[in-house]
């Protein structure tokens, strides 16, 4: 229940930004909406971060690393960036699809 309420509050805070990006009614660029979207992305990234490092043991990454002849390990800064990018994408897509007709 707490997670549901938290996500609902994040969505309300992010709504003006996404309406502005999609050129919808009541859309405006508000810096607080940008910050809240970043926080939402970081919360998503925190859930993804532990799993990004374990991708190195997957057959897919091993195959790609073997073909590309690179080391299949993912360093912590790279794992942070990957989790952050995917977390922000998840936050953005959820709001984007919410605003579609």
What are the tens digits of pLDDT across the range 1-22? 888 888 888 887 888 877 787 7
Contacts of 55 (CB under 8 A, 6+ apart): 61, 74
Tens of pLDDT along 32-67? 888 888 898 999 999 999 998 888 888 988 899 899
pTM here? 0.74
What's the number of CA atoms in the CB half-sphere (13 Å) around residue 81?
Answer: 5
């Amino acid at each position: 229940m707490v997670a549901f309420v938290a996500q609902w509050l994040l969505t309300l805070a992010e709504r003006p930004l996404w309406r502005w990006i999609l050129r919808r009614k009541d859309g405006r660029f508000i810096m607080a909406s940008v910050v809240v979207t970043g926080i939402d992305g970081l919360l998503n990234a925190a859930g993804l971060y532990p799993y990004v490092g374990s991708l190195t043991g997957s057959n897919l990454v091993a195959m790609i690393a073997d073909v590309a002849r690179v080391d299949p390990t993912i360093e912590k800064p790279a794992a942070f960036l990957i989790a952050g990018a995917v977390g922000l994408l998840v936050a953005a897509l959820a709001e984007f699809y919410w605003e579609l007709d």
